[in-house]
């Protein structure tokens, strides 16, 4: 078989074997041959994952709605809303603390004789 292919292509037996080895390791050609199959597989997997994810997400959303309805029926607060309120309150406290510290630092600097609240070479804090 190799001898026939070598005669047909006008190559020596060694050259024919070398050419076949080169072709078997031709990565771009191999990728091009396999790419359609890989693309189809990736598309199918992506579709399956998307479908399953939607199903799980919908189940969680339904469960969350049922839990909130039960809590409401029992007159209990929604834990998610309670956590959000706590987080907002903590943020407001941190913000007030930062603003107080900044105001105190500015007052200390101004008492030391440095007035950084006004732009240089200006009157009443207005820039020229």
SS3 117: coil
Helix (H) or strand (E) holding 34: helix 27-74
What's the rounded Cα separation, in Å, for the pair 128 and 73?
A: 64
- Which residues are within 8 A (CB) of 64 and not within 5 positions of it... i.e. 6 or more apart? none
Q: Decide which of 3 and 41 is more confident.
A: 3
Q: Is 54 exposed, middle or buried (CB count within 10 Å of its CB: 0-12, 13-18, 19+)?
A: exposed
Question: CA angle, corner 18, sides to 6 and 13, nearest 5?
Answer: 30
- Which residues are within 8 A (CB) of 6 and not within 5 positions of it... i.e. 6 or more apart? 12, 13, 15, 16
Over the stretch 73-90, which tens digit does the pLDDT of each residue have? 999 998 888 999 999 999
Question: 10 Å Cβ neighbour count for 16?
Answer: 19
Q: Which two tokens stand for residue 5?
A: 């292919």
Phi, psi of 114 (to 5 degrees): -100, 125
Q: Is 123 exposed, middle or buried (CB count within 10 Å of its CB: 0-12, 13-18, 19+)?
A: exposed
Over the stretch 14-71, which tens digit does the pLDDT of each residue have? 888 888 887 777 777 766 776 777 777 777 888 888 888 888 888 999 999 999 899 8
């Amino acid at each position: 078989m190799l001898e026939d292919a070598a005669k047909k292509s006008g190559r020596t037996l060694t050259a024919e074997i070398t050419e076949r080895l080169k072709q078997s390791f031709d990565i771009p050609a191999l990728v091009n041959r396999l790419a359609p199959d890989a693309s189809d597989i990736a598309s199918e997997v992506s579709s399956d994952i998307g479908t399953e994810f939607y199903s799980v997400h919908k189940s969680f959303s339904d469960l969350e709605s049922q839990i909130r309805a039960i809590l409401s029926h029992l007159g209990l607060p929604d834990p998610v809303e309670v956590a959000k309120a706590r987080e907002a309150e903590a943020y407001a406290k941190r913000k007030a603390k930062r603003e107080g510290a900044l105001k105190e630092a500015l007052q200390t600097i101004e008492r030391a004789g440095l007035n950084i609240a006004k732009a240089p070479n200006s009157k009443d804090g207005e820039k020229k």
